[in-house]
Amino acid sequence: MLRWRELPSLSALRAFDATARSGSFAEAGRALNVTHAAVTQAVRGLEAELGVPLVRRAGRTVVLTEAGERLARALDDGFGTVAAGIAALREAEARRVVRVTTTTFIAETHVMPRLPEFWARHPGVEVALSPSPSKLDLARDGFDMAIRALSDGWVEAPEDEIRPLCRSQVIAVCAPALAASGMHPQDMPWVIGADKHWELAEVAGTGLDVTRLKRVEVGSPHLEMSACRQGLGAGTATEIICRADLEAGRLVRLPLGGLPVVTYAVVLPRGPRRPAVEVFAGWLATIF
């Protein structure tokens, strides 16, 4: 076991190592961004602690004593090993995939279509999207961030940092053929997803009687919007999710009010982060 209390201070060892490499207190000071007097004092303190001279002056330079040469070789090996270990750690972390959890709809409609643009700018950053309707524990489950839709009144948790991206209106939509049928929204079938209580509460906010709705359950959040496009029923989603379908005419908006507005946000675990995580989080802020 390494006995840290028996070792000289790291700052003194760094000062001696820099002096041994440069042959000058002044050059060592410049390398360490301190004064040459501070380096001189640290080296002299190290000599006093070890009880042996390590350097001697030779004009404007310093030369190592025999003891100093032995210590310099040991520090070169030791600091070299530390430097190599840190470099390997940084390289491995730089290559590690940025893991992102988000909803199926946001992943498919808004993030994935724009990923080629991100990779064109940052070709060395790998990103893995994990669509899930569940709210996961980011740190416990190994995720670097989440993209979440937060209802009004959300509170930032102590363990997370929340960076709002945009606000988006929840709207009611259906296929053009269903809208053209002349059927009142109360009489239309409604595609209700996995989060039944939340979606029923949204629809109830429009004034419709949810107890009388004919509900279509497709069993998977991946299929809800597809079911709406196919005319199987009406549904609710944020405008940002429906935007491409509305513009292409695959869906139309139903004239129902009373639906909420949600905030899309990047959620990050608090603590140190890799540069790649910050790069991707910053890019997300430009596409919403």
Name the residue range of residue 134's domain.
98-160+267-287
Residue 194 pLDDT level (bands cut at 50, 70, 90): low
Which CATH number does the domain housing residue 232 bear?
3.40.190.10
* Domain identity same for 136 and 220: no
* Domain identity same for 46 and 32: yes
* Domain identity same for 134 and 122: yes
* Domain identity same for 87 and 135: no
Q: What is the mean pLDDT of residues 6-28?
A: 91
Among residues 74, 94, 114, which one ends one of the domains?
94
DSSP assignment of 13-59 equals: HHHHHHHHHHS-HHHHHHHHTS-HHHHHHHHHHHHHHHTS--EEEET
* Domain identity same for 90 and 115: no
* Domain identity same for 46 and 64: yes
Q: With 90 as the cut, is the pLDDT of residue 285 above it?
A: yes
* Domain identity same for 151 and 183: no
Residue 193 pLDDT level (bands cut at 50, 70, 90): low
Share of the chain above pLDDT 70, in %: 98
Q: With 60 as the cut, is the pLDDT of residue 251 above it?
A: yes
* Domain identity same for 153 and 29: no
Q: Exposed (0-12), middle (13-18) or buried (19+): which is 288, by Cβ within 10 Å?
A: middle
Domain count, the chain: 3
C-alpha closest to that of 52 among 74, 70, 75, 68 = 68
Rounded to an integer, what distance in angstroms lies between the CA atom of residue 115 and that of residue 100? Answer: 13
Which CATH number does the domain housing residue 8 bear?
1.10.10.10
